[in-house]
Amino acid sequence: MSENETKPAIVSVRDLHRTYLQGTIEVNALAGVSLDIQSGSFCALMGPSGSGKSTLLNLIGGLDVPTSGSVVVDGTDLAQISPADRSRMRLERIGFVFQAYNLIPVLSAYENAEFVLLMRGVSPAERKERVMSTLKAVGLEGMEHRRPNELSGGQQQRVAVARAIVGKPALVLADEPTANLDTKTGEDLLDTMRALNDEHDITFVFATHDPKVMERAQRIVRLVDGNIQEDFSQ
């Protein structure tokens, strides 16, 4: 048994279903998924397009709600709280890294990373200390005043990672974070995220089909047609 398997589950999913209508056709994006993800994990949700991995990630992050079943994150059942409370939980306890970076173009790297702390009402002195140390941790020391259009794609994604972790969330969810990056840049970013996992025990859950993520993941959950086909640790 791995060390992470002895830790409490930060995510517990039970009999999760998510159904969409495409015109008049009912599509089962998830069809009864159940799993636990332990605190401190570096976990990859793998599968082809349409397998349900991004849907599952969005449900875990409270960006969507299930048709049926439950999603418990850090002790809170997301289906049992209001939309406002889910928004608050995302702000305070969940970090997100998106494929398209989702940075604010008129803000510098520092200001993009700081944004979460501003929303939380953190004091200026603490904001500065946390943002500068986080930018250094992701390899962006000295680039804090650059805006997104002055950064490479890999550097922009590092800003997105800094923004995701600066608030010290319980969980970071990453949806195809390497999809727009070349091989070397993607590998460097993943190595940075794995180091943050090792050194700070940050839980990372990826939705991806990138083999580079699979090589570094401690656990791989393969989804096909909305069901878990395979689930193993390495």
Per-residue CA distances from 95 to 92, 182, 202, 211 (Å)? 8, 24, 10, 23
Round to whole Å and give the CA distance between 158 and 88: 24
1/57: higher pLDDT: 57
Per-residue CA distances from 111 to 37, 46, 87, 106, 174 (Å)? 32, 33, 21, 9, 21
Residue 3 pLDDT greater than 70, yes or no: no
pLDDT in tens, 48-80: 888 999 999 999 999 999 999 999 999 999 988
pLDDT in tens, 168-225: 888 999 998 888 888 988 899 899 889 989 988 899 999 998 899 989 999 999 999 9
Residue 2 pLDDT greater than 80, yes or no: no
Round to whole Å and give the CA distance between 8 and 42: 14
pLDDT score recorded for residue 217: 94
Residue 165 pLDDT greater than 80, yes or no: yes
Beta-bridged to residue 33, according to DSSP, are 16
Note if the pTM is more than 0.85. yes
pLDDT score recorded for residue 179: 86
Q: Which domains does the chain have, with CATH numbers?
A: 40-58+82-233 (3.40.50.300)
CA angle 223, 229, 230 (to 5 degrees): 100
pLDDT score recorded for residue 1: 44
- For residues 170 and 203, is the Cβ–Cβ distance under 8 A? yes
- For residues 45 and 14, is the Cβ–Cβ distance under 8 A? no
pLDDT score recorded for residue 142: 93
Round to whole Å and give the CA distance between 130 and 135: 9
Interval 140-149 mean pLDDT: 94
pLDDT score recorded for residue 162: 92
pLDDT in tens, 73-132: 999 999 889 999 999 999 999 999 988 888 999 999 999 999 999 999 999 999 999 999
Residue 4 pLDDT greater than 80, yes or no: no
